[in-house]
Amino acid sequence: MKRKIIAGNWKMYKTMTDGLAFLDAFVPRCHREMMEKCSLILAPNFTLLASMAARCREAGIALAAQNCHPGGEGAYTGETSLAMLVDVGVSHVLVGHSERRALFGEQDNFLNQKVKAVLAAGLVPILCVGETLAQREADAAGTVVEKQLRQGLDEVVPDGRLMIAYEPVWAIGTGKTATVDDARSMHQFIRQCLRSLAVDGKGEDVPILYGGSVKPANAPGLLAEDEINGVLVGGASLNPEDFARIAESV
């Protein structure tokens, strides 16, 4: 994992016109030195995936979906299958983002189905884990994250085919950020959990990203840590200049 992973989650922002304008501004900043040191991933809304796919592919930017349904085709109104995502050029899928857990009631056993389905489709699941402020203050952060990992990866041997994103829920969109020490400590803990779940040392191959109010100001300190293999950026990824500055900080 010599290259740091810089992923942007656009959530429910940007129209098709906005997304293409972002690429017009961002792609010219993807110079050779940046691309040699970073792996770039963008996760726009479903409506933007098809229109952005070719341009992202040409620029060397991977395209991620923000969600998926673990089943095949069928009577699942409003859902999107893995076959549909493969068809438009998606390579990664976010699974279990804290907003999916909190706002839409997604539980670990359902997220486990998604992880398995994403892997079976030949795509890369980015499993999101993290604790709330109440859980952290109750000294339960480790317990919560380990449960999310073990249940989310049930019957899945962790290796380089998947990613983990640690997102302290209390630091998402709040302006609060875990200190570098906080992030390093949790990433070390997650790595230990992956080692216990993996075989033949494959747990070392799983990239662990930090997400939670990542901005150009704090990205250099986070990305300088060996235990932090990349970042999952929210609000700052909506601005092409800010997202480029985060990648350039590597």
Helix, strand, coil distribution of the chain in percent, nearest 5: 50, 15, 35
Cα 195 from Cα 199, distance rounded (Å) = 8
Answer yes or no: 204 catalytic: no
Alpha helices in the chain (DSSP H): 16-26, 32-37, 46-59, 82-88, 98-104, 108-120, 133-137, 141-152, 180-197, 219-223, 240-248
Half-sphere exposure of 146 (CA within 13 A, CB side): 11
Number of residues assigned to the chain? 250
- How far CA 221 is from CA of 128, 140, 204, in Å, comes to 21, 26, 22
> Exposure of 104 by Cβ count < 10 A (0-12 exposed, 13-18 middle, 19+ buried)?
exposed
* Crossing angle of the two packed helices 141-152 and 108-120, in degrees rounded to 10: 50
Q: Is 97 a catalytic residue?
A: yes
Q: Which candidate in 99, 106, 131, 167 is catalytic?
A: 167
Catalytic residue among 69, 97, 99, 187: 97
Report, as residue numbers or ranges, the catalytic residues. Answer: 97, 167
